[in-house]
Structure 1
Amino acid sequence: MAPPKRPVSGGDAAASKQRKLGSANPPAAHASPSAAGSDEDAASDSDAATCPHIDGAYLDTVNRACLDFDFEQLCSVSLSSSNIYACLVCGKYYQGRGKQTQAYFHSINDSHHVFINLRTLRAYVLPDGYEVKDRSLNDIKNAVQPQYSPHHVAQLDTCLESGYDLGGKPYRPGFVGLNRIKHNSYMNAVVQALAHVPPIRDMLLLLPDRDGQPALLQRMAVLVRKMWHGRLFKAHVSPHEFAQEVADRSRRRFRLDVEGDAFEFLTWLLNTLHMDLGGTRKKGSSVIYTTFQGQIRATTHGSEASRDPASEGGRPQPDTSQSAVVEKMPFLALSLELPPKPLFTSASVDTSGDGDGDDRTDIPQVALTALLQRYNGSTAIESNGKLRQYQPVRLPQYIICHIKRFSKGGPMAEKNPTVVNFPIHGVRFGDLLPCDASQQHCRDTTYDLIVNICHIGQQMPAAANTSGRQSDTGQPPPVAQPDTPTASAANSSAESPFVAYIRCSASGKWYMLRDLHVEPAMPQVLCLSDSYIQIWQRNDSSVH
């Protein structure tokens, strides 16, 4: 099937009849083109006329191959961020369009005449100042700010759609690569994951463009819209603006020059978006809480931990003679503890000469269902000299599982390589709920895996801050952030340490997304990787 043709930029004879433009020099260094440009543009926006004679002029000079709207919207001369126009001939950003502005001088000195306002999406011919209203520019406007209708969004999970870039190369909207700017693979993996959680994705795609919205929410929405856009000029997207805003908003806690921890970033991002959406501590106060927030019951026994020698493995047992404190807390994720890494591993060496002579180290394995027993309400966990038991009393529509692989120890965070085995369909999270009559209809609830973020590599450099401070998310201990904070810049590996495996809802197929690399994946390989973050979707048919 041949890709659909894009609109062709049309020109007419008026281009050759335009007056010859002389050269002009930009204002002196002490001048303020920023203020002048803003004032003139504000005054002329309502007065801009559309000249039929010039409306199609210069459109044949538009060069879509040079256009890239993923970078931060700053004037390439003054570095100002207000009233920015993009030159549709060379792709550079300039401020203003009135006289004494950088865009005005660029149009004269370089004979580039077609510009678009990156906020209003209105196109103009400079230096004449005429507004251009031509349908051939619609694809450029959609590339700057993709727009979606509720009907289109409702079909994303049921209809397969193919996109085509400028070269006619097909790609799958929603499954496009993200540029690795430096050490931002942890950001890319988290963004790819959230972009495929339907309630979060739909909210971002349909978010109204209003002035005054928090910058992080706007940057995240624009990034996700571009990822799902079916007419990208290039089959990949750069998260530069989003990453820059993350660094500023987090006070450089998450940066581009430092490889961070994906789960720590995920919890920070969810709570920050929750606040930006006007969320409070109340249940369902934002789409973040509606999607991911559940409730867990924590039972604390006694003041000192006691152990029952007769129990299996010498596990600590609660002292029933002492009073217990029961409290209910919200959670956004369930942290799963792996068995301790074995001190010694058995290896089989082929000494018969029949094999290839390679050593094979046995890697420990554990089932996901075994890790979930931490939340069955009867398993006691020792913490600060007390025994606690955890059990969810309400499960959200989407469950985030954090498999804690890293432990602090010296300059490097040691990684637990234990393989976690799990099915991708029908995991009975409902079995963790109490046997109350009100919960009986939910105990058969099953969940399907939709996202699996893996960590590649043997270890992660520990961050300078290893104080073990509590998370700023306000979550209870079982959903606290991992012990390993943001990674150090010492990680200079050329390979991206975080990889996202994501299921396509429309086709049921899995894809591996590793920064710019996107390729199909077999479901069987999911368990072979070191799973770190998983997102499970409730199978609503199992509730009834």
Structure 2
Amino acid sequence: MAAVSKVEESMVNNGSLKRKLEDTDIGKHEEDEDDEDSKLPKGKTKAYRLCPYLDTINRQVLDFDFEKLCSVSLSRINVYACLVCGKYFQGRGNNTHAYTHSVAESHHVYLNLHTLKFYCLPDNYEIIDSSLDDIKYVLNPTFTSEQISSMDASDKLSRAIDGTMYLPGIVGLNNIKANDYCNVILQALSHVTPLRNYFLREINYARVKRPPGDSSFLLVQRFGELMRKLWNPRNFKAHVSPHEMLQAVVLWSRKKFQFTEQGDPIDFLSWFLNALHLALNGSKKQDSSIIYKTFLGSMRIYTRKIPPIELEEDQKEALMLMDEYQEKQTESPFLYLTCDLPPPPLFKDEFRENIIPQVNLYTLLQKFNAQMEKEYKTYKENFMKRFEITQLPPYLILYIKRFTKNTFFIEKNPTIVNFPVKNVDFGDILTPEIKEKYPNSTYDLVANIVHDGEPGKGTYRVHVLHKGSGKWYEMQDLHVIDILPQMITLTEAYIQIYELKKSNPSESR
């Protein structure tokens, strides 16, 4: 009997030992499940899937537009969003900020902002529940090719959590302090179809390789994220904050562009398009990046030097025969065209009020007809230049130069530019040889940026065409209203984006 009892005892001991080993093995898995995914053996599933605290999630307070860093330690590593109060905390293990918050506030449901996995703290298990997919989609919206191709044919409204109805793409942008000059550019670019379609699918630029230590690609990623949020049909709120996008702008422009002080949209647009082009490994070739494919045009510049005016006629004639004074020709690419406004009248009318002058857009475009000369002065030499457009881009950006700087102040030209919203024919300014290459040179307006107020101060707003509904909308930061196209032509247009029509203009008429 003693022998039998010993055997039983040893079996019991072995069994308890085996259980102890299993316990330590389970404990080991729980310890291994640190701030990254737990590495469970194949075939095993996590014990916990459902969570009793899902009804504590408050979707109203969730906002994934801000920098993903811990609200206590300001660290960017292993950041979790508390889905009850919306704050960000670091870590998941014992003594981390997220763990401490869950115990102190009884907030139990968290989302890893990097892996997009949900966890319950302090119990530290992963939650797998399809009812949370909408939160995951708001953090990282994705689009299929079919969704993107049907975007410009849809006018379907979406409903935010608070019941607000909005059109995807027609979404207000937060003004953090003085970043309306950036907002109007971002809004305008989000309605340039090839650019939008490219950035809505992350796979288009995910394989772009940058040199070691160069993180300028962050600008591309942030712009892609913002574009996907602007066109997200399942947003929780009817506006988006460009906070992360603007942080990347401040960083990569070396603080040239800030969101705490007013800037000039044309400076930002010029820098931003070139920065995106370089970050996408663009070269001087037309098809080297989506930026050049969309906006790059080409012109020929004819330059001749003018003799000093104080010289006698015979001296001028002698100089004109020299090689230095012969007309020279250069090819120049462009991303936008600068249109010069005629100077405003100096005198008031009989009612002692300034007459607001008006000018036709076609008059401004005569600058590029290869015949009209314009004088350019440097501190010691004067030049006459002619411009000839040799290549029209699919999307043409016009910059109407309203501001002139002198030694003492900045002056604004209030001249109203009269322009048609549809069927602007740029073929009228092309030379006959170039025009032969373009059977269709008719453009439609898709975005119009306006400046209101004093030079150096004032505010900016943008008009954009929503192709799905065929309606025009005016956006000024968070304020979004629909507007009649006739009203757009009465504004002080500053930057315009035109789209080349694919159909024959006579058919559309």
Output the TM-score relative to the length of structure 2: 0.84
Deviations 1:235-270 (A, max 9, x none): 111111111111111111110111000110011110
Q: Does 1:430 align with 2:427?
A: yes
Q: CA deviation at 1:99?
A: 2.6
- The equivalent residue for 2:460 is 498
Any idea what the Cα deviations from partners look like across 1:451-475, whole Å, max 9, x if unmatched?
Answer: 0000001322xxxxxxxxxxxxxxx
The 2-side partners of 1:202 and 1:235 are apart by: 21
Provide the secondary structure at the position in 2 that maps to 1:541: coil
Q: CA deviation at 1:444?
A: 4.4
- Structure 1 unaligned runs (5+)? 1-36, 307-318, 349-358, 461-490
Q: 1:513 aligns with which of 470, 475, 478?
A: 475
Q: Tell me the secondary structure at the aligned position of residue 300 of structure 1.
A: strand
Q: Is residue 2:225 matched to residue 1:227?
A: no
Where in structure 2 are the equivalents of 1:208-357 lying within 5 Å? 208=203, 210=206, 214-304=217-307, 323-348=326-351
- Native 8 Å contact 1:433 1:443 kept in 2: no
SS of the residue corresponding to residue 177 of structure 2 reads coil
- The answer (yes or no) to whether the contact 1:83–1:95 under 8 Å persists in 2 is yes
Following superposition, the deviation at residue 59 of structure 1 comes to: 0.8
Give the equivalent residue in structure 1 for 2:396. 399
| 3-state SS of 1:157 partner | helix
Q: Is the CA contact 2:347–2:354 (under 8 Å) kept in the aligned structure 1?
A: no
Match of 1:367 among 360, 365, 373: 360
Q: Distance in 1 between matches of 2:344 and 2:404?
A: 10
Between the aligned partners of 1:233 and 1:451, the Cα distance in structure 2 is 26
Q: For 1:474-523, what per-residue CA distance to the aligned partner results, in whole angstroms no more than 9, with x for missing partners? A: xxxxxxxxxxxxxxxxx4xxxx6100000111122100000000000011
Check the 8 A contact 2:48/2:125 in 1, yes or no: no
Aligned pairs for 1:378-389 within 5 A: 378-384=371-377, 385-389=382-386
In structure 2, the partner of 1:538 is 500
Q: Do structure 1's residue 457 and structure 2's residue 453 form an aligned pair?
A: yes
Match of 1:447 among 443, 449, 454: 443
Shift of 1:213: 7.5
Contact 1:445/1:542, CA 8 A, preserved across alignment: no
How far off is 1:64 after superposition? 0.5
Give CA deviations for 1:326-348 in whole Å, capped at 9, x if unaligned: 11110000000000122213253
Superposed structure 1 runs of 4+ greater than 4 Å apart:
45-54, 209-213, 319-322
How many Å apart are 1:364 and its aligned residue?
A: 0.7
Q: In the alignment, what sits opposite 1:418?
A: 415
Amino acid at match of 2:468: A
Q: Is the 8 A contact 1:61 1:89 kept in 2?
A: yes
The residue aligned with 2:143 is 148
Report the CA distance shift for 1:189/1:132 in structure 2 as closer, same or farther (over 3 A).
Answer: same
Task: Name the counterpart of 2:35.
Answer: 41
Aligned partner letter, 2:432: C
Q: CA deviation at 1:446?
A: 0.5
Per-residue deviation, 1:86: 0.4
Are 1:448 and 1:538, in contact at CA under 8 Å, matched by a contact in 2? yes
The AA in structure 2 aligned to 1:340 is P
Q: Deviations over 1:69-116 (max 9, x none)?
A: 111111011000122110111111011212332112222222211111
| Structure 1 pair 177–382 and aligned structure 2 pair: CA distance change class (3 A) | same
| Structure 1 residue aligned with 2:75 | 80
Report if the CA contact (8 A) 2:180-2:477 is conserved. Answer: yes
Q: Is the 8 A contact 1:305 1:382 kept in 2?
A: no
- The code of the aligned residue for 1:369 comes to Y
Distance 1:243 1:535 in 2: 22
What SS class does the counterpart of residue 34 from structure 2 fall into? helix
Q: CA deviation at 1:141?
A: 0.4
Q: Which 10-residue stretch deviates more, 120-129 or 172-181?
A: 120-129
Matches of 2:303 and 2:71 in 1, distance apart?
60
Structure 2 gap ranges (5+) = 1-30, 208-214, 310-319
Please tell me the residue identity of whatever aligns with 1:44.
S
- Give the conservation status (yes or no) of the 8 Å contact 2:446–2:499: yes
Counterpart AA for 1:172: L
Quote the offset at 1:129 in angstroms.
2.1
Tell me if the contact between 2:361 and 2:417 (Cα under 8 Å) persists in the aligned partners. yes
Q: CA contact under 8 A between 2:189 and 2:196: conserved in structure 1?
A: yes
Query: What aligned pairs does 1:475-490 form with structure 2 within 5 A after superposition?
Result: none
**2-side partners of 1:543 and 1:272: how far apart?**
35
Inter-partner Cα distance in structure 2 for 1:506 and 1:83: 40
Decide whether the 8 Å contact of 1:431 with 1:444 is kept in 2: no
Question: Do the aligned residues in 1 keep the contact of 2:398 with 2:496 (CA within 8 Å)?
Answer: yes
Letter in 2 for 1:452: N
Distance in 1 of aligned mates of 2:222 and 2:279: 12
The residue that corresponds to 1:9 in the other structure is: none
CA contact (8 A) 2:337 2:399 kept: yes
Shift of 1:543: 8.2
> Does residue 525 in structure 1 map to residue 456 in structure 2?
no
Q: Residues 411, 305 of structure 1: CA spacing in aligned structure 2 closer, same or farther, 3 A cutoff?
A: closer
CA offset digits 1:401-432 (Å, max 9, x no partner) = 00000011355311000110011111111222
Given that 2:426 and 2:442 are in contact with CA atoms closer than 8 Å, whether structure 1 keeps it comes out as yes
Per the TM alignment, residue 51 of structure 1 is displaced from its structure 2 partner at its CA by 4.8
Root-mean-square deviation (CA, aligned residues, Å) is: 2.5
- The structure carrying a bigger helix percent of its residues is 2
Q: Give the aligned residue type for 1:435.
A: P
Task: From the superposition, tell whether residues 256 and 234 of structure 1 become closer, same or farther in structure 2 (CA, over 3 Å).
Answer: same
Match of 2:160 in 1: 165
Structure with higher Rg: it is 2
Q: What is the one-letter code of the residue matched to 1:455?
A: H
Conservation of the 8 A alpha-carbon contact between 2:32 and 2:38 = no
Q: Secondary structure of 1:175's partner?
A: coil
Contact 1:185 / 1:515 at 8 angstroms: preserved in 2?
Answer: yes
Structure 1 segment 174-189 matched on structure 2, within 5 A: 174-189=169-184
The CA distance in 2 between the partners of 1:277 and 1:459, in whole Å, is 35
CA distance in 2, matches of 1:390, 1:273: 27
